Structure 1
């Protein structure tokens, strides 16, 4: 199975966790989306050039947070709650997963389920 299929499978596994998950973007360390999956009817929140800036901000946040791994342990996820939606950011190997969820969903409960899904997909990928 190719790496791209792993990315698609991971994104599809995450979006299937809960109907409140609106979109997933798998971002490389340069801030570029290598995979995107959205629910039908979910529209992109901003133009492509702004998406790239936002993705780079996510990469920077995770990268800077990693400076404290030795003292506090690795980052599991970040939660960013906005007026219209909530964003969850998960570091994963050389990528970052950005998950956009409905503003009324429970971010902590979903974040835990997403972490478990990411861990399961990584385990399956390493076992293959």
Structure 2
């Protein structure tokens, strides 16, 4: 999967966001935490500014990278989820065609069954993405 290709990344952000109406936001961030693509639900009342979203991306990637320290004991991280008062956030590591790391960043409405959406919709979608 070539997430360094901005068109590829933007198309798949949009497709993933459209998998469920309770998905608010989908972003793809590089291993350095830089957002390479985003997709917001139409008419979304955003809870953060663009600058705050960029900072969130950096922090989410940093936290995911820190979790890799425990892979030898726990296995590979499939996804992580955090529930807040106003929304649910998830971070999913992505495979890439090169050695670069990418992460899928998603936010859901608070009433979403995020685990179901991740496991039955998003991860299934990711499985069938072209590998190169």
Question: Which of the five TM-score ranges fits, normalised by the shorter chain?
Answer: 0.7 to 0.9
What is the alpha-carbon distance in structure 2 between the residues aligned to residue 85 and residue 91 of structure 1? 20
The aligned residue for residue 25 of structure 1 is 27
Shift of 1:104: 0.3
- The two structures, once aligned, show a CA RMSD in angstroms of 1.8
**Gapped regions of structure 1 (runs ≥ 5):** none
Q: Tell me the distance in 2 between the aligned counterparts of 1:5 and 1:48.
A: 20
Instruction: Map 1:1-128 to 2 at 5 A.
Output: 3-93=5-95, 94-112=101-119, 113-121=121-129, 124-126=130-132
TM-score (norm. length: structure 1)? 0.87
Structure richer in helix, relative to its length: 1
* TM-score of the aligned structures, taking structure 2 as reference length: 0.85
Q: Structure 2: which 5+ residue stretches go unaligned?
A: 96-100
Return the alpha-carbon distance in structure 2 between the equivalents of residues 86 and 24 of structure 1: 12
